[in-house]
Amino acid sequence: MDTVLSIKNLSKHYGRVKAVDDLSLEVQRGNVFGILGPNGSGKTTTLGTILNVINQTSGTFEWFGQKGDQNTRKRIGAILEHPIFYPYLTGVQNLKIVCDIKEVPYSRVEEVLKVVSLDERKDSKFKTYSLGMKQRLSIASALLCDPEVMILDEPTNGLDPQGIAEIRDLIIEIANSGKTIILASHLLDEVQKVCTHFCVLQRGKLIHTGLVEDVGKGSLNVEVKADVENLQAVLEGSGMASHIKRELDKYTMTMHNGYSAAQVNEYLFKQGITAKHLVVKTKTLEKQFLEILAGQEGGQS
Ligand SMILES: Nc1ncnc2c1ncn2[C@@H]1O[C@H](COP(=O)(O)OP(=O)(O)OP(=O)(O)O)[C@@H](O)[C@H]1O
């Protein structure tokens, strides 16, 4: 595997606040890696640290197997906040200024404007752009250096549904062109739609990391209702569930790997019980995320 970013035991404290708390994670080349967490969980601080904008309290990180410095920084395109563009200049003019700063040939401007689908509005003044177009111009600006890695902090914040869809499609397109993407978001849906890998931060701590496609696996829920008094005990006796939750007369079994709703039905039948409700629920990332956070709350008490 080709590790692009390796973070080891990274911490950033602001007085008593542990904005980032002993964080270790790796991002491989080609990943679209989502850093998911509620507001204040340390996403922006993590990104600021790995971009050398914020000094860490302790811990280390490496880009491309090297200590992060000016040379590695050139291989990374980042949008942390809305970059400042000149309102009375056009998209092209603004990007040419960025070319001057980054020492990139002007020929790149037309190329990146095409990628972000702003070529038709390239000669309009920045102040006439919609929020979505402004964000796409930011992405174009970050693409000028043809970076290997793109870092995006809450890229769809404040956009309308169409703008959100356009930015998400663009991120996927950029990922398909071979770039590694690291994206911070508090939106589960966004991570699920765009990312291949993700981690969850809570109060600066890493509480989960994995593949987005694995999220549903091993987390089959089966809802059961039956007219039996001791249904909880009966279901526990099956050994098929890792957890059983009761809400009124409905029992939700979180199934161990390999067990199905049909097996629950068969088991109940053998116990002389007819289920009057047996429904399969696959867990979404959202539910899993909320459970992870709920579990973490419990674990810390
Ligand atoms: N410069 C600072 N001084 C003091 N505390 C800070 C500073 N920057 C961040 N924090 C605190 O560190 C914690 C993590 O903040 P951070 O902005 O990294 O979280 P986040 O997950 O990006 O949240 P958001 O999505 O709201 O920006 C928060 O409690 C925040 O108040």
Q: Is the CB of 37 under 6 A from ligand 1?
A: yes
Residue 170 tokens read as 């663009």
> Is CATH 3.40.50.1000 what the domain over 220-283 is classified as, yes or no?
no
83 lines ligand 1 (CB under 6 A): no
Question: How far apart are the CA of 220 and the centre of ligand 1, in A?
Answer: 35
Domain positions in the chain? 3-214, 220-283
Name the CATH superfamily housing domain 3-214.
Answer: P-loop containing nucleotide triphosphate hydrolases (3.40.50.300)
Atom 28 of ligand 1: nearest residue by CA position? 40
Could you tell me the mean pLDDT of each successive run of 10 residues in the chain, 301 residues long? 93 95 95 92 94 94 88 87 85 95 93 94 94 93 94 91 92 94 91 92 89 74 93 95 91 89 94 93 72 53 28
Residue of 41, 190, 202 with the most ligand 1 atoms within 8 Å of its CB, for mutation: 41
Confidence (pLDDT) at 213: 84
Q: How high is the pLDDT of residue 300? A: 35
How is residue 166 written in tokens?
């356009």
- Atom nearest to 154 CA in ligand 1: 25
Question: Is there an atom of ligand 1 within 6 Å of 41 CB?
Answer: yes
- List of residues 6+ apart from 200 with CB closer than 8 A: 36, 37, 206, 207, 208, 209, 289, 292, 293
The C-alpha torsion from 53 through 114 and 64 to 198, rounded to 10°, is: 80
Ligand 1 near 39 CB (within 6 A): yes
Which is the closest atom of ligand 1 to the Cα of 41? 21
**What is the crossing angle of helices 161-176 and 131-143, to 10°?**
20
Question: Residue 273 C-alpha to ligand 1 middle, in angstroms?
Answer: 53
Which residue has its alpha carbon closest to ligand 1 atom 3? 14
